Amino acid sequence: MITLSWYIIMLYIHIFSVVLSIGPYFVLFPLLALIRRAPFESLPDYLEPFRITVRLTKHAGHVLVATGIILTWITAWSWKTSWIVATVLIMVASLYFIARAFSPLLRQLKAPHEDRNTLVNKLRKALIWYVIITLAMMWFMVSKPTIW
């Protein structure tokens, strides 16, 4: 018989929310080429996956934070542990980044614009930075380095 503890349940929910917070962004990279050459009238169809992904990862991030708090509470980890502090700081930076990176660019792409290539390049750069930021958080959570 398998016995599940609250720790195991929270850990798996936490891991699943990490996957939902990072994974969908990798699917968006191939869409950039389509957005670059699509007629303006069909752009909303190509931008919708970006909007959905941002919304999905926002909600997955809420679950991630909640389960992270619960996991810290039910384990012996302290909030002063270096990898937890680093993860929280990166998470706060990523919240600021995601709010300032994707939504304004998607709004600009939806409106009539002159240089789509510049906007798509900015969107690609934002995607790369978001993936790097979230992978850095994941590295801290998995490797749990002792910094101090």
Distance between CA 140 and CA 102 in Å, rounded? 24
Sequence-ordered list of residues with C-beta below 8 angstroms from that of 43, at least 6 positions apart, any chain: 35, 109, 110
pLDDT tens digits along 94-123: 877 777 888 888 889 988 888 899 999 999
What are the per-10-residue average pLDDT scores of the chain (148 residues)?
84 94 91 92 91 89 94 92 94 80 87 89 92 92 91
| Residue 1 pLDDT | 66
CB atoms within 10 A of CB 52: 11
Q: Which residue's entry shows tokens 């790369």?
A: 128
Alpha carbon distance 139, 29 (integer Å) = 22
pTM summary value: 0.85
